[in-house]
Structure 1
Amino acid sequence: MASRADSARIGLVHRLRLWAIGRLRRSRLLPSGMPDKLTDEDRLGRPFEQQVMLYFPTTRDSLYQLRPWYHALKALDASHRLVCVFKDSRTAQIVRDETGLDCVTLARYGQLDEILSVSQVKLALYVNHDPINFESLRFTSLVHVYLGHGDSDKGVSVSNQVKAYDLCFLAGQAAVDRTASAVMLYDAPAHSVLIGQPQLDGIAPVVPSPSLDGRPTVLYAPTWEASQPSVSYGSLETHGVALVTALLGTYRVIYRPHPLNGVIRASYAAADAAVRELADRVDTVVPLEQSFADADLLVTDVSAVTLNWLPTGKPMLVTTPPVPYPPSPLMDVVPQLAPGDDVAAIVAEHLTDDPTKAARDALVEHYLGDPRPGVATARFIAACEDAMALRDREWAARQAAGATGP
């Protein structure tokens, strides 16, 4: 049996540990990829006034997933007020500054439970499949909707994790077909709502900046190495240096690195660094739309970039990935570059003739829905309203049967 002195010493050590962790969090020296969990104490015990909640437990390293939704979220907030919940106060501050939305940091699951218990939140939105989402997904009085952060033909776009959500808001029929063909024991049409891509409505006009010497511009925008080997479509190690070297001189090469390059493998980081040294321009801070406007042809991997580029009508090539990808009408059309292919000759052919243009144009609506400005944002807001109405009907029935929530 521990002595009173031992118990006191254990208690002191525990308090010192908590004090040190708190100081580290408040010092802002905590690594950016680790949530600081600095709770907004003044929000505890108070209900959210909003009926819609965006849950984003990841850190600022993942803001590339959230930023494309800013326009749509602000439009939703104008008609149905929105609260954004974070676990990292630094990320919350960035989003607050960039959007003006109500952003709250809650460190612990119990704090969210306490607030939702006295709130009238009906709808929860998610832009990624972070495992911590389950701290919010457990609440039965909300309708939970997965938005994603860019439709693509990647295997992760048909994750079994879609089953965790009541609904998935998808861009076009291609996403429904992809999910239905790959996910077992899941009724994709019943859980899918097609809204198009509201992200495209928030794009500010850009002025193209062509090469001063008149060379055509090729944009190389590969994806990262991925945390799962089965969806590792990144081409930097297999294609990067050879591809850029083959194009230099004849073409202006813009390299747009993925923000997570090298997070998993040091060799991928080294390949990224080598391509940065070779490229005529490296786009790390300019908007994606500027990179697109400045380029005449895109070389990319199996990723969301292909669908972002599709409405431009300009030619694209996709690197042959080392792992399989789901069935894809777009990948059946777009030429693929294998390691060792004559990249310069293939690029020249597609810049001159663009032999796949008609086939690509025919797929725009299949992948992206109605691309007319404003249509997707209006559909997004309407889909949120429908989801909240569904919640009201279903939750009233559950309450009549004795459910208490949240």
Structure 2
Amino acid sequence: MGIQRDVRLGFKLVKDVTASRRAQRLLNGRLATREPLPGRHFKIAVYFADGPVNLYQMRQWYKPLAKLAETWPVLVLSRNGAGALPLIDESPVPVAYVRRVADLERVLAEQDIRIVFYVNQNSRNFQMMRYGRCWHVFINHGESDKMYMVTNQIKAYDYAFVAGEAALARLGKVLWDYDFDKRAIRIGRPQADHYSGTTAIAPDERQVVLYAPTWEGDRPSAAYGSIATHGVDLVAALLASGRHRVIYRPHPRSGVVDSAYGAANKQIIAAIAAANERDASAGHIYDSGPELGWQLSAADIAIVDISAMVYDRLATGKALMVTRPADPSAQIDSSGYLSDCEWLFDGQTGNIVAVLDELTHDDAAEARLTVWVQRYFGDTNPGVATERFHVAVQHLMNEWDRFDTANPRTDHIEASSEQGSLSADDGPDIELL
């Protein structure tokens, strides 16, 4: 068994290296044809050290960043070659590929970066945070009550942009000696002002159900995924009803840790394809596209796992159910929305049609939902969150001017003269590209 495993790992390594080198060649060709970035132009950077598997964390910020760039020029700093390729194609704001610390230093020396946004907690964020004279701001990639949202790592950033009162309460339970009034700034959810994508779904008598599960997690306390426990039976029952249209949008990491989740995911995808073959008018959708937003607005009811998708949907104020993790080790915040949400237990999935019928006519559930929307996001009228986002950025720009005036620059970042070598700071994070 050990030899077979080593052989499989060896083949995988060769495959990964080959794909990585191919991606590097494509990236080099793409970079060679681009115009150089204008000097001293960009005031805001978005630091992204991940590859394509986590690109969803950036995608939801594309349109808010594009709108912000109309006032403050924004530049994405990509540290990963495989991630930089799609970013260059997709991002509405310019992208700089800064694989090495020397590359990062060069871009910082050439630009006037005053605010750096971070959408996740990648360990390589620390390489960027070494630089002073700019505000390091955690903006995250969603609002949720997952354990990820209450990490003490938030203290490492100068500021955090949070959604609303619920986020402050959540952090207040775990952070000691943190200046919430200064460092945690409420902005709502500006992404909700820019829901993206279109669908060919034509309204008819079918009830549209969005099932958007998260991945299985990498430890028991984060085992929120429902694909293997709820998903197969749930989707099968909805496909068989003849009254529902399913939009199935699984997390892109589904099955990366547990092969059972990968197999269940494939089973659901195959069942959707078979249902559409039997009845093309059913219009069931397996959605793996980069655009997120149309699914939330098109669905009459959403069924999601404990993840940011709960709160993406909550911001719409429309009917919502949350799958209850089957693993008792999964950590659940019982003080926020999850203390009052409509739970879907794995034993209910076979009877999902009756469950959804009951929810559709539950006025009390709708009233509770409205209260929680206000607590998590504040005013959700169109454009309000975007305005709060821009006001928060303007505040930090004003603070930057104040500190810069009081502390004139006596040093500056110099671009490394060793552009052909790797900086020692890169350490074990060097890519095989």
TM-score normalised to structure 2 length: 0.78
RMSD: 3.1
How many Å separate the matches in 1 of 2:30 and 2:219? 32
Give the corresponding residue for 1:265.
Answer: 258
Change (3 A) 1:164 1:44: farther
How many Å separate the matches in 1 of 2:265 and 2:17? 36
How many Å separate the matches in 1 of 2:149 and 2:189? 15
Match among 65, 76, 85 for residue 68 of structure 2: 76
Give CA-to-partner distance per residue, 1:177-223, whole Å, 9 cap, x none.
Answer: 111112344333431111111111222585783575x3323221111
Change (3 A) 1:312 1:43: closer
Shift of 1:138: 1.0
For the pair 1:209 / 2:216, whether they are aligned, the reply is: no
Give the corresponding residue for 2:342.
Answer: 335
Match among 126, 142, 152 for residue 150 of structure 1: 142
- Give the structure, 1 or 2, with the largest relative contact order (CA under 8 Å, sep 6 or more): 2
Give CA-to-partner distance per residue, 1:121-161, whole Å, 9 cap, x none.
Answer: 21111111111111111111111011111111111111222
Contact map agreement 2:195 2:294 (CA 8 A) in 1:
no
Shift of 1:298: 1.3
Contact map agreement 1:38 1:105 (CA 8 A) in 2:
no
For the pair 1:376 / 2:385, whether they are aligned, the reply is: yes
Give the corresponding residue for 1:256.
Answer: 249
Contact map agreement 2:226 2:305 (CA 8 A) in 1:
yes
Give CA-to-partner distance per residue, 1:17-53, whole Å, 9 cap, x none.
Answer: xxxx9997553279x9xxx899968999995431211
Residue identity over aligned pairs, in percent, reads: 33
How many Å separate the matches in 1 of 2:289 and 2:86? 16
Change (3 A) 1:290 1:83: closer
How many Å separate the matches in 1 of 2:45 and 2:28? 18
Equivalent runs, 1:30-179 vs 2, <5 Å: 48-89=40-81, 91-117=83-109, 119-179=111-171
SS of alignment partner, residue 356 of structure 1: helix
Equivalent runs, 1:355-374 vs 2, <5 Å: 355-374=364-383
Shift of 1:380: 1.4
For the pair 1:190 / 2:182, whether they are aligned, the reply is: yes
Shift of 1:93: 4.4
How many Å separate the matches in 2 of 1:205 and 1:23? 33
Contact map agreement 1:315 1:354 (CA 8 A) in 2:
no
Give CA-to-partner distance per residue, 1:322-341, whole Å, 9 cap, x none.
Answer: 31222443212212122213
Contact map agreement 1:38 1:87 (CA 8 A) in 2:
no
Change (3 A) 1:137 1:39: farther
Equivalent position amino acid for 1:110 in 2: A
Contact map agreement 2:23 2:81 (CA 8 A) in 1:
no
Give the corresponding residue for 1:351.
Answer: 360
Give the corresponding residue for 1:297.
Answer: 301
Match among 293, 306, 312 for residue 316 of structure 2: 312
Shift of 1:65: 0.9
Equivalent position amino acid for 1:254 in 2: I
Give the corresponding residue for 2:10.
Answer: none
Match among 251, 266, 270 for residue 277 of structure 1: 270
SS of alignment partner, residue 130 of structure 1: coil
Give CA-to-partner distance per residue, 1:35-88, whole Å, 9 cap, x none.
Answer: x89996899999543121111121222221111111221122111112211123
Contact map agreement 2:62 2:92 (CA 8 A) in 1:
no
Contact map agreement 2:20 2:82 (CA 8 A) in 1:
no
Q: Which runs of 5+ in 1 are unaligned?
A: 1-20
Equivalent position amino acid for 1:277 in 2: A
How many Å separate the matches in 1 of 2:40 and 2:17? 26
Greater displacement, 305-314 / 130-139:
305-314
Change (3 A) 1:289 1:76: closer
SS of alignment partner, residue 398 of structure 2: helix
Greater displacement, 311-320 / 44-53:
44-53
SS of alignment partner, residue 127 of structure 2: helix
Contact map agreement 2:317 2:373 (CA 8 A) in 1:
no
How many Å separate the matches in 2 of 1:205 and 1:168? 28
For the pair 1:225 / 2:220, whether they are aligned, the reply is: no
Equivalent position amino acid for 1:140 in 2: G
Shift of 1:282: 1.3
Q: Which runs of 5+ in 2 are unaligned?
A: 1-15, 273-283, 414-433
Shift of 1:379: 1.8
SS of alignment partner, residue 218 of structure 1: strand
Aligned length: 379
How many Å separate the matches in 2 of 1:327 and 1:165? 27
For the pair 1:392 / 2:379, whether they are aligned, the reply is: no
SS of alignment partner, residue 144 of structure 1: strand
How many Å separate the matches in 1 of 2:30 and 2:100? 8
Give the corresponding residue for 1:28.
Answer: 23
**Runs of 4+ off more than 6 Å:** 21-24, 36-39, 41-46
Equivalent position amino acid for 1:371 in 2: T
Change (3 A) 1:81 1:312: closer
